[in-house]
Structure 1
Amino acid sequence: MKRSIAGVAMALAATLAVSACGGSDDPLAENTSSAAGSGGSTSITIGSANFPESQLLAEIYAQVLEGKGVGVTRKFDLGSREKYMDGLKDGSIDLIPEYTGTLLQFLNKQAKETAPDEVYTALQSTLPNNLTVLDKAEAEDKDAIVVTKETADKWKLKSIEDLVPHCGEVTFGGPPEIQQRPDGIPGFKATYGCTFKSFSALEPGAITTKALLDGTVQAADIFTTDSAIEANHLVVLDDPKSNFAAQNVVPLINKDKVNDTVKDALNAVSAKLDTKTLQELNAALNAPDKPEYSDVAKDWLSKAGL
């Protein structure tokens, strides 16, 4: 009987010792540590959309967090915002790189803000209760209506306004969801009075560029940091009526996953990321040797001192 009591006492003492060192397996204790703010251990599932820049930014987030000792699970190439937002709401992903303007309009189709700070402020008050955004980067990647140089020269195009008289002659290419988004097909009509002859649903990236170059479409939705614009001498049409709001890169994250370690690491990335850098990263990703996302991310983080 004495041996049994002694054994219990030893086990209890060991348990208390482990608890004192922060080694408890109690999930409540772990959540408290993660949310407390000074860098308790946590694990984050990072997602990305279905285009290269989003996947690269997600990989940058993943590597900078891993460098701070945060456990990371990657779930990339999840599709469009319409798809991955469900994952953020149900907790199957915790963090994803986002763009302020399109996210705001996704959440509030009546949003009128277009300037960077106005969009960011409005976004913060519009997010679902379980989500927040950390610091926005200076880097901005906007949707744009893009044409070939030949088309721009033929119709003397510099802005979307210049395209309006020819919209009825144009097959427009872009991701399927742009048919419903406020700054997509509905926005072109409402803001500029532009109704295209037809629409062709295309995956973002190389497929859209090819369709534009081979004449399948005469205008297309292409992100302004896409290296294909410069490489193929494409023309980005000005948007004088601000149909496209500011699109600053921003980490969208589950509030329960934010502690000082996570916040400081991701804010440090945003502080180093400007539009020129984003263009250079996209160009590096599209180099002839087709480097891996992980290599491009690692190289930039090293050069940025992160």
Structure 2
Amino acid sequence: MKKRMNKNLFILVVTALVLTLTLTACGEKSSKIGSGTTVRVGTKDFTENLIVGELYAIALEDAGYEVERVANIAGSVIHTSLVNDEIDLYPEYTGTGLLSVLKMDMITDPEEVYETVKEEYGKQFKVTWLNYSEANDGAGLVIRTEVSKNLGITTISDLQKHAAELRFASQGEVDQREDGIPALEKVYGKLNWKSSKIYDNSLKYEVLRNNEADVAPAYTTEGQLVNTDEFTLLEDDKQVWPPYNLAPVIRDNVLQANPKIADIINKVSAALDTKTITALNAKVDVDKEEYEDIANEFYESIK
């Protein structure tokens, strides 16, 4: 009888010890990842956003969070995905938030744009803008470097003076959109091109390289722009176009439950400027490397 009691007591002690260790381990995991919920990181369906979204995901995983990647969401619906609780955060652009989501008037000062979208997203959507980065994926014009050097064109003001000597590779809508060529002409004056033909956006650098045109619309972080011997991005010296600074947007309830996310993601944003993100884009779009590999390599260099 005594032996049986001792055996039963031993079993109870061992069971209690195992339970204690299990609860301790679970407690440590829960403490490490905040609320213990999976963070769903969304991205839009183009190279730059995929790279930056992957950087967010890697940084969160490195800090102990579970991450679900929800990639390649159309830009027209990703904001809705966020506010409808289908994703928790994603990389957005300040100008997109201002003009496309909030439908507000154009502002060209980067800090003013950021403070405006930050305030309005909080009020309207219960969404927080974390720190914006220096990386600005805005509208621009690219010119063949040979022409830039020959005619001394480095700004859009210079371009306007020489427009009659230049062939424009249009994308059609840029000629009509209020924030396209019409916006430039209101400030810089009429752009009387030598010729203007419409080309598919995906072909513009090939068109310029083949000397079929001299100037084309561009986004300021496109990977091909690393080839400065061939292509020169013109300075918008009168600041017509609004800034499109990269910044993470996150649902308030997720951030409140996991406040450490802010510091984790803000560290990534602080490492991104226009030159850096352009180089990362080039590794994918020009060198044909995988965006996950590029993101992981870059994260290792900044963590």
Tell me the TM-score range normalised by the shorter chain: 0.7 to 0.9
**Aligned pair in 2 of structure 1 residues 210, 134: CA closer, same or farther (>3 Å)?**
same
1:144-177 CA-to-partner distances (Å, cap 9, x unmatched) read 111112443565533223333637975444596x
1:275-298 CA-to-partner distances (Å, cap 9, x unmatched) read 34323323433564x322111111
1:26-45 matched pairs, under 5 angstroms: 39-45=34-40
1:1-306 matched pairs, under 5 angstroms: 39-79=34-74, 81-127=75-121, 128-153=124-149, 156-164=152-160, 166=163, 170-174=167-171, 182-194=178-190, 200=198, 202-203=200-201, 207-214=203-210, 218-231=214-227, 232-258=229-255, 259-286=258-285, 288=287, 290-305=288-303
Consecutive unaligned residues in structure 1, runs of 5 or more: 1-16, 23-32
**Aligned pair in 2 of structure 1 residues 44, 190: CA closer, same or farther (>3 Å)?**
farther
Q: 1:272 and 1:210 mapped to 2: Cα distance? A: 31
Q: 1:199 and 1:59 mapped to 2: Cα distance? A: 37
Q: 2:177 and 2:66 mapped to 1: Cα distance? A: 35
Q: Give secondary structure in 1 for the equivalent of 2:250.
A: strand
**Aligned pair in 2 of structure 1 residues 150, 298: CA closer, same or farther (>3 Å)?**
same
Verify the 8 A CA contact 2:157 2:188 in the aligned structure 1.
yes
**Aligned pair in 2 of structure 1 residues 188, 102: CA closer, same or farther (>3 Å)?**
farther
CA RMSD of aligned residues (A): 3.6
Between stretches 189-198 and 137-146, larger displacement belongs to 189-198
CA shift, 1:242, in A, is 0.6
Q: 1:139 and 1:202 mapped to 2: Cα distance? A: 26
What is the TM-score when the length of structure 1 is the normalising length?
A: 0.72
CA shift, 1:126, in A, is 2.9
Verify the 8 A CA contact 1:131 1:254 in the aligned structure 2.
yes
Q: 2:273 and 2:38 mapped to 1: Cα distance? A: 28
Verify the 8 A CA contact 1:179 1:185 in the aligned structure 2.
yes
**Aligned pair in 2 of structure 1 residues 207, 95: CA closer, same or farther (>3 Å)?**
farther
1:81-129 CA-to-partner distances (Å, cap 9, x unmatched) read 3343333343333322122234322235553432222221112123242
**Aligned pair in 2 of structure 1 residues 159, 107: CA closer, same or farther (>3 Å)?**
same
Verify the 8 A CA contact 1:102 1:245 in the aligned structure 2.
no
Q: Give secondary structure in 2 for the equivalent of 1:136.
A: coil
Verify the 8 A CA contact 1:109 1:182 in the aligned structure 2.
no
Verify the 8 A CA contact 1:148 1:235 in the aligned structure 2.
yes
**Aligned pair in 2 of structure 1 residues 73, 198: CA closer, same or farther (>3 Å)?**
farther
Q: 2:109 and 2:119 mapped to 1: Cα distance? A: 16
**Aligned pair in 2 of structure 1 residues 251, 227: CA closer, same or farther (>3 Å)?**
same
Verify the 8 A CA contact 1:226 1:279 in the aligned structure 2.
yes
Q: 1:175 and 1:42 mapped to 2: Cα distance? A: 46
Match of 1:26 in 2: none
- Highest Rg: 1 or 2? 2
**Aligned pair in 2 of structure 1 residues 63, 274: CA closer, same or farther (>3 Å)?**
same
